[in-house]
Structure 1
């Protein structure tokens, strides 16, 4: 039975090689090839297990002994801020296990079922077309991130939740700060509190004056005793953060990846096949895997897995990009292939805690990828890729600015 650390424990998260900014960190690939499970060192000196292979992640993320409870001793926190607030935040779908997780997820699942999300396609198409019209009428070159990528999911999630879009700059700035590992716990905490206070006030308004949006639906559940006010407010914050930053990053980084693969971009631009466009979105999600801090869990009991003993109370980090570039699951993983069957990727995690909003994210990406390059066929980078600045400190990896011209 193995229960030892490797001689040299690498620090985590891993940074990507700026010479190959769209590929996983070379360290992640080396670790995956060396051993199924190994150790990494986090910001606080703790050394949780790192799981890098696709099949191992699927097995362990569905193991009932693997917990998402961030109050459990040994949980591998992303940063000092997350460690500081553990135990102070209410129980949500992001930090609970069954049966509590099952109850909470049921209270917020309805707005994100596939059929209801698909009904939003015409509205999202209208948003995307309108923003492209505005970009074409504006400065050329432009920053695709601020002129388009951030605006699309911000408008969509604001409409879904019932949040005034006029406040988008406030929640974009504060959500970025709340997720930035380079900031102090005090700075990140202040941003989180600001978002909590904002959503709490808005939730009270929706409870008095319901408008049919998701916040109003959660307000009704609070009135009916199905969830507490604090649970609803914090769930609103989580949706607001997750609903715009990750999709905005995929729009901008996906565009950069396609511009680096012009033959793939040409196929996507010329296709009118919804199935091909949807498949292309899945392959880009696999290829880029923007979550760079991993999925975090803790063992609530001893787990013997393939000859390795994971002891109760030991943290576990699931490195998603390494799994999505695992050649056992995706042959020639370093090749972007929009025809690849990539739906089994783990960009949204896996198991009972996989991303609640994945159907919405998929729809937004399908509409964007199926429209942007067709509407602007001459879209190109306005600066060499070597000059682009990438975000290595947030929860998601992306470009800080994407200058484009047409």
Structure 2
């Protein structure tokens, strides 16, 4: 662990001051707001302007769908070759309606329904030889304007996503593209199917920590909520069931799940028709610079204003990570796990590491070595021996140790 430097001790005298902040997402939560804990609001953009979001960095080629806007997307039970003869009979009753993950940016709606093939990305299959992705899936999209479209992602090659959409009868077929180079150092590039237009909406990944937005959560069914999502390089410790003034920021698990703050710090009171704010919880957020901030939510104006009010306080300028550790990351997906099998995505240096799966009490439930190149790799993870509950996957290699939390149902 890092030790406190004289500079950190000097800074600590100024860390006790709380700042009250109000971020507005506008009436009806019409705006998305990217927020930096260090610098405040970085960018605001209308939620309704985009339909698809294409992952720029990362190795899952995630494609988001703006279901919070009112879009519905169904994955067709046919291969991409059925494009010209797509039969939508029984679609809303028997086809799978897909949504973005609310725990990871890496698994958008078009990445769902994975097979056992470790190179399956949902909408397409990764080619290990050509390092391209070929689309193999068909989707039907009900746009927010009421139009029904069929959609296929043709592929990802030469740094460019290509995709095709048309009316269900095949008319008005249009092909679009999005070049990742135009969105360098950002998480996603966006596209409007309604307007046939690529959109540059996000700040640089390094410039923001939290996204205040309307999104689809699972409680347990899909439902639109207003809340806070973390950037992919941000982790968060949620402390609940106690006076926030007594909460400790050390010793707990800093969760990379992007909905660790989420929406449930508030609840709607059916007697007062106002929102009640949970007073027994706070959030410690470790930003991309390893600074730790304490957040306490104090008010929500509802859809009338979209105002979210909280206090923020810099707790540690030193951070909690091990100094000098090489960059490494893992993710478990699908999450939650159903059926006893899932995948471990790992991007780490070296050719050997050790995997352990721990239960909520810290007991080691699974232990196995990981051998071979570990950069940008997908491995099957058998969890059939695990009872339903929460678990932590831990990978430790040369100079690093990384974690990913997951649920078994």
Structure 1-normalised TM-score? 0.27
Bigger CA radius of gyration: 2
Structure 2-normalised TM-score? 0.27
Which is richer in helix?
1
Which is richer in strand?
2
**Higher RCO (CA-CA < 8 Å; seq separation 6+):** 1
